[in-house]
Amino acid sequence: MKTEPNAPANPLDAVWDKKDSITGKWSKAITQHRGLTKREYFAAMAMQGIRSNQNLMLDAEAASIQAVNDADALINALNKE
């Protein structure tokens, strides 16, 4: 399974009927909510685990770097065939 690091983790495309206030005509309105990328989402989850481990004595910057490295490692593992 290939995964694109910058693809949205939880995309949401919403479609609804919209009435034009001037013409009174109805049309479809589409909204895209892109949210976090997969890389950002994976890094946030890794950061949560790192920061919850009382035995790790990492400052915020070191923990952030480790979380991003962990996210990249997961993406690389997912992209291996």
DSSP 15-58: EEEEE-TTT--EEEEEEEE--SBHHHHHHHHHHHHHHH-TT---
In a domain, 18, yes or no: yes
With contact defined as beta carbons under 8 Å apart, do 42 and 70 qualify?
yes
4 found inside a domain: no
Q: Is the pLDDT of residue 62 over 90?
A: yes
Over pLDDT 90: what percentage of the chain? 47
Amino acid at 5: P
**44 in a structural domain:** yes
Whole domain around residue 40: which residue ranges?
12-79
| Rounded Cα–Cα distance for residues 62 and 19 (Å) | 51
Please report whether residue 6 resides in a domain. no
pLDDT digits (tens, 9 = 90+) for 24-47: 888 877 777 778 889 999 999 999
> Regarding predicted confidence, which is higher, 72 or 6?
72
